[in-house]
Chain A
Amino acid sequence: MGTMKIDGRNVEFSDEKNVLSVIRKAGIDLPTLCYHSELSVYGACRLCNVEDEKGRMFASCSERPRDGMSIKTSTPRLVRYRRMLIELLLASHHRDCTTCVKSGDCDLQKLAHRLGVSTVRWGYKERAHEKDFSSPSIVRDSDKCILCGDCVRVCEGIQGINAIDFANRGTDAMVIPAFNKEIAKTDCVNCGQCRVVCPTGAISINTNIRPVWEALSNPDVKVIAQVAPAVRVALGQAFGGAKGENVMGKIVTALHRLGFDEVYDTTFGADMTILEESKEFLEIFEKGGPFPLFTSCCPAWVSFCEKRWPEFVSHISTSYSPLQMLGSIVREYFKGQNIMSIGIMPCTAKKYEILRDDLKRDGKQNIDYILTTEELITMIKRAGIQFDMLEGEAADMPFGIGSGGAVIFGNSGGVMEAALRTLCKGSERSALEELSTGGVRGPGSLREFTFNYKGKEIKAAVVSGLAEADALLRRIKSGESFYHFVEVMACRRGCIMGGGQPVHAGYRTKEARKHGLYESDVNTQIRRSDENPLALSIYDTLIKGREHELLHSHR
């Protein structure tokens, strides 16, 4: 607690961990390239430098606020320094900005513009390194890297992977995988969080726009899309909509206008996942083990488990992820027809998931391509569709309806909550409310709670962020912790913060996306997956007797 002077104004602070947070709270958007509130403080970019009353300069991200402190944030000297820093970064940056994939959304570009950097006095850096296209999810372009270390810290600190790190020294320093091998040959799990924090075009999404667009203009191909829950609460903001607003209706309209023949809702697949997974869980629960059962929806998590915890792979539910559920059903429904099946996802790891052999049937992928939220935004813009003017449409039948439980899949805890809903007695609001306030929701990347099922206690855990999951697995292995059922999502807060989502999401945006999904849940008439009449009906028709073949991985 205390008061400090910022540019002559008194500003109170409480538990802010650094001066930068106090400055930003005071309404000053101090520029940074290496600061993310959830990552460790690094102090590399020096853009957040401020001056104290004695003229001393320090990085405000790395200094604790003190009572009585007095600082200035934009003296002529500071402004000059910041401009010089950006100029130096630009000098060692491959500046093909006009054709760069990140153009318009690049922090370096924005800061150069904002700080008035009008010339770069030190020449031009030609391309010196090949781009790394080895991953289906991300593209690495070292010539665009400014060595801020954001990707390194998210990969190591939050995800516990450390697929990339600094190598070499001085002017030779780079962020690369060990031995400069291809990213696909590392422990990378394709979560895309490096791409979310990358301020430049050094890490970007490996895009699949082109083949999809070609199919859309081919009258012989029926192009079918399904839209994941998290997409609908993130996309609207790119077109001037409110943070976290559910724009599913407009997305459906936009996809129809782009030429998609059918637009389905992945929540249908999510309900199928719940039907299968809760069946699987009850079987194990009544049999008495082996525990815990892990959820299977998140491909980055499955990949992480395979690479780091092979002994737990058999504990992962064999039920398909929602994407694969609907993909498999759609392929069956349109059997014999020339279709292209597209998943619109918040996730870069889904681009890897669709290629997995255990998710193929007769050697064929259930889903042909994944477009991330970002790629769909690009397509809508490229086609010139005035998204904000669109009138919403409903998703197409027969796979256009999902329950409220399925919508919250995009939040950390959502899969668990939807699964446990099917174990609630009845569907009265009170029972569902008791569940939702019983610990499955809330802050923190690890939540543990118990759920009463027919007088027996189900011990459950919800975890997001793979470093946190890694610690949890260690405790489970040592016997320190015990759970019956564990939901793991690789990205903190779940799919709403996936690697394919629009970036620059601050605290308010993250919260708004989360509430957007919870609000969509309570606005849905059907709250429980086992009450989705369409999902139930296909058990007697389309997939009758073939659940195992069509809905489960053969890992």
Chain B
Amino acid sequence: MLEQSFYDKTDEILSRYPAQERSLIPIIHEIQEAFNYVPVELLPYVAKHIGITETKAFSVASFYERFSFEPKGKYIIRVCDGTACHVRNSLPVLERLRSELGLSEKKHTTDDMLFTVETVSCLGACSLAPALMVNDHVHPAMTPEKATEMLKALREEASVHE
């Protein structure tokens, strides 16, 4: 059961869109941004409001990689594994990140909810290959060593914030 605050925030999002089928994706986008994930409990709620079935809402939400039903970490690291990045050795970068953070193909988020590591098919930044993104920021020409340093910097940044 979700806390009431989730529904209050969702109501606020819903109020800004017409209650129509076509609002579904923008609404899920905003939910993802607001909570860093899409709580599945909210999908039937949204579906009912805009007049579609929960099955349809789930179908759409589960289709897009960008939407996640699992809570994500504060820093979402998206390692590009498109063709250009792949041939320029993106996998060792990914493996370094995973081993440093104790993550795997199945486990994407650290227990302290600080980091989420995912792969994406292409960031559209092939000239910077191998590239990755941390939240909205692109890191070009990555190596495993640079990845380690980047994690260290992010940890420091996080501790300063606290």
The answer to whether A168 and B62 have CB atoms under 8 Å apart is yes
The answer to whether B55 and A186 have CB atoms under 8 Å apart is yes
The answer to whether A179 and B53 have CB atoms under 8 Å apart is no
The answer to whether B59 and A167 have CB atoms under 8 Å apart is yes
Beta-carbon contacts under 8 Å, B39-91 to A: 40, 43-44, 53-59, 62-65
Complex Cα distance A379/B58, Å?
A: 40
Q: Quick one: closest A residue to B64, CB to CB?
A: A169
A407 interface hit (Cβ, 8 Å): no
Q: Quick one: closest B residue to A173, CB to CB?
A: B63
Chain A residues with CB under 8 A of B64: 169
Complex Cα distance A168/B53, Å?
A: 17
The answer to whether B62 and A177 have CB atoms under 8 Å apart is no
CB B46 to nearest CB in A, in angstroms, measures 12
Complex Cα distance A391/B26, Å?
A: 66
Contact residues on A (Cβ < 8 Å of other chain), bracket? 10 to 19
A132 interface hit (Cβ, 8 Å): no
Chain B residues with CB under 8 A of A91: none
Beta-carbon contacts under 8 Å, A135-183 to B: 161-169, 177-179
A187 interface hit (Cβ, 8 Å): yes
The answer to whether B55 and A177 have CB atoms under 8 Å apart is yes
Complex Cα distance A164/B56, Å?
A: 9
Q: How many A-B residue pairs have CB under 8 A?
A: 38
Chain A residues with CB under 8 A of B53: 161-162, 165, 178, 187
Question: Among the interface residues B56, B62, B63, B64, which one has the most CB atoms of the partner chain A within 10 A?
Answer: B62
CB A165 to nearest CB in B, in angstroms, measures 4
User: Given known contacts A162-B53, A179-B40, is B58 in contact with A169 (CB within 8 Å)?
Assistant: no
Chain B residues with CB under 8 A of A187: 53
Chain A residues with CB under 8 A of B63: 166-169
The answer to whether A165 and B40 have CB atoms under 8 Å apart is no
The answer to whether A166 and B40 have CB atoms under 8 Å apart is no
Complex Cα distance A189/B143, Å?
A: 56
Q: Quick one: closest B residue to A161, CB to CB?
A: B53
Complex Cα distance A140/B53, Å?
A: 20
CB A135 to nearest CB in B, in angstroms, measures 15
Chain B residues with CB under 8 A of A178: 43-44, 53-55, 57-59
Complex Cα distance A541/B79, Å?
A: 80
Chain A residues with CB under 8 A of B65: 169
Chain B residues with CB under 8 A of A168: 62-63
**Chain B interfacial positions (CB closer than 8 Å to A):** 40, 43-44, 53-59, 62-65
Q: Could you write out 12 A-B pairs with CB less than 8 Å apart?
A: A162-B53, A165-B53, A165-B56, A165-B59, A167-B58, A169-B62, A169-B64, A178-B43, A178-B44, A178-B58, A179-B40, A179-B58
